[in-house]
Every structure is written in structure tokens, then in C-alpha cells.
């Protein structure tokens, strides 16, 4: 007899059984701490404002934004206090945060995506310094009769702007266990400009100043920062500790005076 053809096909799979990619989800909160004091008295439009991640952010148990990761914002409006009690003004737009694999993830100031009048939640520290979030001007400050000053160490919460697919292999340790016994050297990298990106053989490894542990051999070390001409050298590491002091000069397009 012919077998009953009403049996379900063996190859039919439930949608839930289809593997989903690893994603850093839109709206994931990233707590940040201001790395330096910013004031409307001295800030200029286009200035970069540095923040650092306060806590690790993990996806499926793997840290993708490590504590201390660099996050950047940009001054979009700066006006110091004027006569007749007119206050200073300061707009700062939150931009991006550095992932553990060296890539950048875009940030926004509000938890909601495109809520027209939505105002994001504010931490106590931000309320204390009169900072208010708006989607159109992510960080807007106004204080009657005086300049706006945001002290170093002020904490805010920003949010991942859009789903970010992740190649989790890029976040795993690359060195095999047996490689730990290979000869390594301590390499101290400093620069005349703070908080520059350091790359070794094309891979992001930290920000200046940093102390790196590198396996003996030839390595290409690059130090760079937006608005400056990159510095790069081929260095032979032979087992002893060395100190590398990079010198960056402002690029002509940045409008900043070149270092003497």
C-alpha cells in the first residue's frame, strides 16, 4: 500500500528554530561619564567632547562595549554669557561610542527612536546641571545670567541608535592559549594630544596614553585623532620595554593651529 501522504514534510521548520544574528539592539542604554569640564565660556562649535563608558555592555554574555570605552560628542552651538544678564548657551550632540572590536556605534540622547516631542530620562547629575535632552538637539543647556559649565565626571545615559549586527568572533580573544608563553614587551605609547586612537598592525588597541603588551617582532603602530594628521611608525620589538612618544599636528582642514 502507498504510505499516507498526509504526514507533514520532514523539512518544514518552525520560524523560531531559525538562528538569529547577534545584535546590539536599538535603544540599548550606555552610561557615560564626561572626561573633561566643558564650558560655554571656552567651547567652540565643532569641538569634540570626550566621554567614557561607565560600565561594560554585553551581548549574549560577551562584552561589546568595555568599561572605559571612548564615546564622542560634538559642540553644535556655543555662546558665552553676555551683558544685561543674558545667559550662555551650549548645544552638544552625542555621536558615537567605540566597540571592543574597534568599530564605532552611533548613539542618540533619547531612548525613543523618532518620538517627535519625547524627552528622554535624565539622571540626577544632569538635572543638577540643568541639562535637558531633545531629539533635535540631543544635549541642550541654558542657565540664566551665567555661562554653562558641565563638570568633569558628570554622568549621562545615551542609547544605541539603530540595531547593530555583530560578528561575535571579532570580540573573542584572538591569541591561542599556548601563545601566552611567547616573549612579550611592554610598550608605552604617549602623544602630545590626549585620547588619540592607537592601532597596532591595523587593529584598534586603546587610547593614548596606554601601556601595551606586544609579542616580539615588527609591528606597525599608528596614532590618530580626528582633526590631526596621523602618526605611524614601523617598530621592532625585541623583548625590552620601550616608550613611543607620537607627535600629531593639526590638519589644515581642522582650523586648529599646528603644534610647534
pLDDT beyond 60 at 135: no
Give the separation between CA 205 and CA 217, rounded to whole angstroms: 17
Which of 13-17, 74-78, 148-152, 162-166 has the highest average model confidence (pLDDT)? 162-166
In sequence order, what are the residues at sequence separation of 6 or more whose Cβ sits closer than 8 angstroms to the Cβ of residue 258?
A: 249, 250
Q: What confidence score (pLDDT) does residue 170 get? A: 85
Query: E-assigned strands of 41-118?
Result: 48-53, 57-59, 62-65, 70-79, 89-98, 104-108
List the one residue out of 67, 59, 72 whose CA is nearest residue 107: 72
| Average pLDDT of every residue of the chain | 74
Give Cα 73 to chain centroid, integer Å: 9
Which helix H or strand E contains 160, and what residues bound it? strand 155-160
Confidence of residue 87 (pLDDT cuts 50, 70, 90): low
Quote helix, strand, coil % in the chain, to nearest 5. Answer: 10, 40, 50
Give the separation between CA 247 and CA 228, rounded to whole angstroms: 10
Confidence of residue 82 (pLDDT cuts 50, 70, 90): low
Confidence of residue 142 (pLDDT cuts 50, 70, 90): very low
Instruction: For domain 23-168, say whether CATH 2.40.128 is its number.
Output: yes
Indicate if 179-248 has the same CATH topology as 23-168.
no
Q: What confidence score (pLDDT) does residue 133 get? A: 38
Task: Look up the pTM and report it.
Answer: 0.54
- Phi/psi for 126 (5° steps) reads -70, -40
> 95-104 pLDDT, tens per residue?
999 999 888 9
Confidence of residue 178 (pLDDT cuts 50, 70, 90): very low
| Domain 179-248 fold | Immunoglobulin-like (2.60.40)
What does 162-194 look like in DSSP terms, one character per residue?
S-EE--GGGGS--S-GGGGGS-EEEEEEEESSS
> 249-260 pLDDT, tens per residue?
987 655 554 443
List the one residue out of 148, 129, 219, 215 whose CA is nearest residue 176: 215
pLDDT beyond 70 at 84: no
Please tell me which residue, 8 or 188, carries the higher pLDDT value: 188
pLDDT exceeding 90 applies to what percent of the chain?
23
Q: Where are the domains of the chain?
A: 23-168, 179-248
Give the separation between CA 119 and CA 10, rounded to whole angstroms: 51
What is the widest separation between alpha-carbon atoms in the chain? 100
Amino acid at each position: 500500500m502507498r504510505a499516507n501522504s498526509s504526514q507533514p514534510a520532514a523539512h518544514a521548520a518552525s520560524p523560531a528554530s531559525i538562528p538569529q544574528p547577534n545584535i546590539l539592539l536599538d535603544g540599548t542604554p550606555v552610561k557615560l561619564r564626561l572626561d573633561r569640564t566643558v564650558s560655554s565660556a571656552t567651547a567652540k562649535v565643532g569641538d569634540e567632547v570626550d566621554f567614557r563608558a561607565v560600565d561594560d555592555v554585553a551581548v549574549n554574555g560577551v562584552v561589546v562595549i568595555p568599561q572605559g570605552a571612548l564615546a564622542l560628542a560634538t559642540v553644535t552651538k556655543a555662546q558665552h554669557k553676555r551683558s544685561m544678564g543674558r545667559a550662555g548657551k551650549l548645544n552638544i550632540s552625542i555621536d558615537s561610542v567605540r566597540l571592543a572590536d574597534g568599530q564605532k556605534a552611533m548613539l542618540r540622547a533619547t531612548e525613543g527612536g523618532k518620538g517627535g516631542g519625547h524627552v528622554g530620562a535624565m539622571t540626577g547629575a544632569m538635572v543638577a546641571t540643568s541639562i535637558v535632552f531633545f531629539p533635535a538637539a540631543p544635549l541642550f543647556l541654558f542657565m540664566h545670567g551665567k555661562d554653562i559649565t558641565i563638570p568633569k565626571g558628570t554622568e549621562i545615559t545615551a542609547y544605541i541608535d539603530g540595531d547593530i549586527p555583530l560578528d561575535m568572533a571579532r570580540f573573542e580573544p584572538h591569541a591561542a592559549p599556548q601563545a601566552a608563553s611567547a616573549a612579550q614587551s611592554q610598550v608605552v605609547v604617549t602623544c602630545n594630544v590626549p585620547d588619540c586612537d592607537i592601532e597596532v598592525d591595523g587593529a584598534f588597541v586603546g587610547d593614548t596614553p596606554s601601556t601595551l603588551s606586544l609579542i616580539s617582532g615588527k609591528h606597525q603602530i599608528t596614532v590618530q585623532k580626528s582633526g590631526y594628521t596621523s602618526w605611524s611608525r614601523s617598530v621592532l620589538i625585541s623583548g625590552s620595554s620601550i616608550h613611543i612618544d607620537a607627535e600629531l599636528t593639526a590638519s589644515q582642514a581642522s582650523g586648529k593651529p599646528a603644534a610647534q
